[in-house]
Amino acid sequence: MDAVTELADDATVVQRVLDHIDNRTTDLAAGCWREPVANYRSAERYREELDLALRRGPVGFCPSAALAEPGSFVAREAAGTPIVVVRGRDGEVRAFLNACSHRGAQVACEPTGCVNALVCPYHGWTYGLDGGLKGVPHGHGFPDLDKAGSGLTSYAAFERGGVVFVSQQPPAPAAVAELDTLPLMIPESYRFVRVDANDVPANWKIAVEGFLEGYHIRSTHPDTFYPVQYDNLNVVEPFGRNSRVTFPYRNIEAQRAIPPAERSADGRLTYVYHLFPNVIVATFPGRVIMVVLEPVTIASTRFVVHALSEHHDGTAEADEALAGESSLVSQGAAQDRAVVASIQRSLAANPREFFEFGLFEGAIGHFHRQLAAALAGGVDG
């Protein structure tokens, strides 16, 4: 299973799934991967991951749809840094350190919203949507203030494939160029509905790994995903530093009666995109979720879950319908979170030198290979 330069189209993926069903097979990696258990426990390694992978970026921050109009903003911590992204009146998305240049108070105190300006709640210093300092109450008290040079600290921001990416450090040119190869993952027709967060007591890499293979479907999800999906049957496509894993539904069998060129993946499979290093975009019928697996500590990860819908109109009835549609996925996600937490509980006492990832778990090996390359100062893929 080598990295691809272009992802397969839906009809090709459907055919590959049907072939796997007929042959009782699944996509296999070229080899196994051994990841040292120490890499999940080492405080030094964790600091390197934050500095060299999660802050250097560009790293997925939020869906573009969460910034639907000028003044829309999203604020949260990313790799320990408070960041706010906002859409300007010119339509561009910009990212800033969420800290007033006066005394450092956060200028965006809610996770999402829409404003005409960013106003510090401490002393009322006001910043435009471009980050420039626009107003200082009782400004005569700051006779030497360089107003033009006292705007919010800015970071590089990019929009690709329906996702906003932020880089806290100057990004490598190759990493920025790779953004141009991303497919459209969140179409413009999808509306941002809400964002939720759950803290899970597990290392962020263990959390990422839980999304990247279908080898666990029957054992972990016997009453949720397994009745709908297949156990250990996936199409796996590494591309650049990223990967896409296809989880087919059992109703894909009906596509056999349709001419190959006319086959559709809609409602018949879930695409799970892993955007290196810590972002998951998963597609479902009429819905998309974007999950940022945000490290809080070496042993704790915040699951920041953005929900998007193709048919949500903002009404209470639509909220109720979306909750019903999301019920199965929510139950399955809770099962996954329980497993990754159990791995963390045993981690300190685990005597093994390596975690062994087999041929069914090639996307996980790809993730660790790319992470090792990032920490070594390169971009593999």
At 177, list the tokens: 């160029």
Residue 321: its pLDDT value, please?
Answer: 78
Mean pLDDT, range 272-297, rounded to an integer: 97
User: For residue 227, is pLDDT > 80?
Assistant: yes
Which is nearest to 166 in space by CA: 88, 69, 64, 71? 64
The region, left, alpha or beta by phi > 0 then psi within -120 to 50, assigned to residue 185 is: alpha
Residue 320: its pLDDT value, please?
Answer: 80
Mean pLDDT, range 176-183, rounded to an integer: 95
DSSP E strands: which ranges in the chain? 33-36, 59-63, 72-78, 81-87, 93-97, 112-114, 118-119, 126-127, 133-135, 154-160, 163-167, 191-200, 235-239, 242-248, 269-275, 279-284, 287-297, 300-309, 354-357
User: For residue 318, is pLDDT > 90?
Assistant: no
Residue 378: its pLDDT value, please?
Answer: 57
Domain 10-56+189-375 has CATH 3.30.450.20: no
Residue 162: its pLDDT value, please?
Answer: 97
Q: What is the pLDDT of residues 160-169, one digit of tens each?
A: 999 999 999 9
Residue 272: its pLDDT value, please?
Answer: 98
Q: How far apart are CA 368 and CA 371, in angstroms?
A: 5
CATH-assigned architecture of domain 59-171: 3-layer Sandwich (2.102)
Residue 377: its pLDDT value, please?
Answer: 85
> What are the start and end residues of each CATH 3.90.380.10 domain in the chain?
10-56+189-375
User: For residue 132, is pLDDT > 60?
Assistant: yes
68 falls in which pLDDT band (50, 70, 90)?
Answer: very high
Residue 2: its pLDDT value, please?
Answer: 66
**pLDDT > 70 in the chain, percent:** 98
381 falls in which pLDDT band (50, 70, 90)?
Answer: very low
380 falls in which pLDDT band (50, 70, 90)?
Answer: very low
Q: What is the pLDDT of residues 248-258, one digit of tens each?
A: 999 999 999 99
At 278, list the tokens: 């810590």
User: Hunting for tokens 């106003």 — which residue is that?
Assistant: 119
Which is nearest to 298 in space by CA: 41, 37, 35, 53? 41
Question: 50: which residues sit within 8 A by CB, 6+ positions away?
Answer: 79, 80, 295
Mean pLDDT, range 217-231, rounded to an integer: 97
User: For residue 325, is pLDDT > 80?
Assistant: no
Q: What is the pLDDT of residues 342-361, one digit of tens each?
A: 999 999 999 999 999 999 99
Residue 142: its pLDDT value, please?
Answer: 97
CA distances 186 to 179, 269, 275, 283, 318, Å, are 14, 16, 13, 8, 20
1 falls in which pLDDT band (50, 70, 90)?
Answer: low
- DSSP-derived 3-state class of residue 181: coil
- How far is the first Cα of the chain from the last one, in angstroms, to the nearest whole number? 12
> What are the start and end residues of each CATH 2.102.10.10 domain in the chain?
59-171
